[in-house]
Amino acid sequence: MEQDKLFPSTTPQAPDIYTFPDGIMGGFANEFATILSSHLESAKHFFFFSVLTCLGLLFSCRVKLKSELHQEPRIYLVLLGESADDRKSTAIIKSINFFNSVKDVLNDLYATCDGAGSAEGLIKVFRKNTNDGRVLLIYDEFAVFISKAGIESSVLLPCVNTLYEQTKYENATSKDRLIVEDAHLAMVAACTIDTWNRIWSPTFTAIGFQNRLFLCPGKGRRQFAFPEKIPDNIKENLKTMFNEIVKWIGEGREIGITDEAKRVYEEWYLNLERSVHSKRLDVYGLRFMMLFCINEQKDIIDEDIVAKVIKLMNWQLSVRKVLDPLDCDNKIALMEARIRRCLTPPGTIKTEREIKRACHLKQAGYWIYNVAKANLLSANEIIPTGKKNAKHKRFRLNPKELLD
């Protein structure tokens, strides 16, 4: 395989994020997406990822990686496009309806929640669900989640944030104890580009919520004034394909990786740019490797699966950069410069409190400051000084780094 396709320049020139890369879609989800997009106007990859989201949640308790790092193939998907014309909700509804229609094939389907207004409400859905604690959280308008989760007294955001990687959430107060265990959560939501650019606040960026979302922008096409009904025999063929996946999974599957595929993935992982936009791409890489194996009924992650995942993650990195509503990279770079300037000339030692004041922390926000400081510490440009357990930490520029 050509290395330049797997490891593109870290500064791609004007990427077209609305054109989905070729060679990624395959298996059952691709067949579903091909059929539905030939009768409806949603972007083909909207159907593809909506189906993968449902598949990942459905088999989250049955498919494991042969790795010490535990991952489930669950994703938080956000379909992004213009209002009405791009038919985002159509892709979500049709995908969910298909899985509702196969309950005769698989009885223990996940539960659905059409918009949780609070963590308490979401946990009630988990407690009522007897299907291995699997819940698909659905938002026809993602802005509704942001408005509910952004309420000062709400714990919906930390709950959903925690359940991205864990299966337990607990919030104990003096009056009540909110707890859910063995909870497997996936999310699918629709959002317009304009809304995406307006909804964010430091409440979400402070805990890195955006990097838990898999963003899927796309454009629909007006082509069917009166969409024809999909023939019943074609729908039955899709059910047959899904039934084959269910039989293949059986009581459970453990998925390994070939040596060559592991080598290629590790090379990408070790060379992945360090950026606020690249955070958790490696997590999604592992999850999509599992998802692609489920979708294509492969017992092991081979080089072909890894190539698809790397291409997908590189696309996702470009999407995050283009759709970044906060211009995070530039703001972090500016904060790094402020911290360096605060500790100039070399030999200057200041407490963290003094650095925060000099860098106008209240204007920039804690998240920007913490990421910038962590970057400088990681690069060894600044170093802590004084007693290790001192109450007020002090920092200075690293003289060795200056000489280099």
pLDDT tens by residue, 212-251:
999 999 987 777 667 789 999 999 999 999 999 999 999 8
Cα–Cα distance measured from residue 374 to residue 279, given in angstroms and rounded to the nearest whole number? 14
Q: Which residues contact 297 (CB under 8 A, 6 or more apart)?
A: 27, 244, 245, 248
Domain contains 256: yes
- Which of these three, 274, 301, 322, is where a domain ends? 322
Please indicate, yes or no, whether residues 281 and 361 belong to a single structural domain of this protein: no
Q: Which of 275, 298, 322 is at the close of a domain?
A: 322
Cα angle 370, 371, 375; round to 5: 115
Burial class (CB in 10 A: 0-12, 13-18, 19+), 231: exposed
Same domain, residue pair 305 and 335: no
Which of 202 and 395 is assigned the larger pLDDT?
395
- Note whether residue 216 is domain-resident: yes
Number of domains in the chain: 2
Of the candidates 126, 63, 102, the one whose C-alpha atom is nearest the C-alpha of residue 287 is 63
Residue 6 domain-assigned (yes or no): no
**pLDDT surpasses 80 at 36:** yes
Average pLDDT for 287-315: 97
pLDDT score recorded for residue 401: 55
* pLDDT surpassing 80 at residue 324: yes
Are 146 and 277 part of one and the same domain? yes
Asked if residue 5 belongs to a domain, the reply is no
The CATH number given to whatever domain includes residue 354 is 1.10.10.10
Print the domain residue range for 197. 11-322
CATH of the domain at 152: 3.40.50.300
Q: What is the pLDDT of residue 388?
A: 64
**Would you call the peptide bond into 345 cis, given omega within 30 degrees of 0 as the criterion?**
yes
Q: Would residue 75 count as lying in a domain?
A: yes
Contact (Cβ atoms closer than 8 angstroms) between residue 326 and residue 200: yes
For the cut 70, the answer to whether the pLDDT of residue 196 exceeds it is yes
- Lowest average pLDDT, out of 2-16, 24-38, 128-142, 375-389, goes to 2-16
Task: Decide if pLDDT at 330 tops 90.
Answer: no
Q: Are strands 253-257 and 300-301 parallel, antiparallel or unpaired?
A: parallel
The reported pLDDT for the residue numbered 403 is 47
313 or 131, greater pLDDT? 313
On whether both 231 and 348 belong to a single domain, the answer is: no
Residue 162 lies in a domain: yes
pLDDT recorded at residue 1 = 47
Confidence of residue 402 (pLDDT cuts 50, 70, 90): low
Using alpha carbons, select from 358, 352, 341 the residue that is nearest to residue 397: 341
Residue 345 sits in the same domain as residue 297? no
Percent of the chain with pLDDT over 70: 90
**Maximum separation of any 2 CA atoms in the chain, in Å:** 77
For residue 3, is it within any domain?
A: no
Q: Nearest-5° angle of CA 201, CA 203, CA 207?
A: 120
- Kindly state whether residues 211 and 318 are assigned to the same domain: yes
> Do 244 and 379 belong to one domain?
no
Q: Does the pLDDT at position 124 exceed 70?
A: yes
Q: What is the pLDDT of residue 287?
A: 97
Q: Note the pLDDT of residue 11.
A: 44
Residues 206 and 343 in one domain: no
Q: What is the pLDDT of residues 151-174, one digit of tens each?
A: 888 899 999 999 999 999 998 877
The answer to whether residues 260 and 312 belong to one domain is yes
Cα separation, 313 vs 27, whole angstroms: 19
Please give the share of the chain, as a percent, with pLDDT higher than 90: 49
Q: Is 44 inside a domain boundary?
A: yes
Q: Give the per-residue SS3 of the chain.
A: CCHHHHCCCCCCCCCCCCCCCCCCCCHHHHHHHHHHHCCCCCCHHHHHHHHHHHHHHHCCCCEEECCCCCCCCCCEEEEEECCCCCCHHHHHHHHHHHHHCCCCCCCCCCEEECCCCCHHHHHHHHHHCCCCCEEEEEECCHHHHHHHHCCCCCCHHHHHHHCCCCCCEEEECCCCEEEECCCEEEEEEEEEHHHHHHCCCHHHHCCCCHHHEEEEECCCCCCCCCCCCCCHHHHHHHHHHHHHHHHHHCCCEEEEECHHHHHHHHHHHHHCCCCHHHCCHHHHHHHHHHHHHHHHCCCEECHHHHHHHHHHHHHHHHHHHHCCCCCHHHHHHHHHHHHHHHCCCCCCCEEHHHHHHHCCHHHHCHHHHHHHHHHHHHCCCEEEECCCCCCCCEEEECHHHHHC
pLDDT for 13 beyond 70: no
For residue 313, the model assigns a pLDDT of 97
Q: What is the mean pLDDT of residues 348-353?
A: 88
Distance separating alpha carbons of residues 206 and 361, to the nearest angstrom: 13
Instruction: Please check whether residues 249 and 372 belong to one and the same domain.
Output: no
Task: Please tell me whether residues 111 and 228 are part of one structural domain.
Answer: yes
Q: Where a domain ends, among 305, 322, 339?
A: 322
343 pLDDT more than 70? yes
- Residue 27 zone, left/alpha/beta (φ > 0; ψ -120 to 50; rest): left
pTM: 0.81
Are 81 and 140 members of one domain? yes
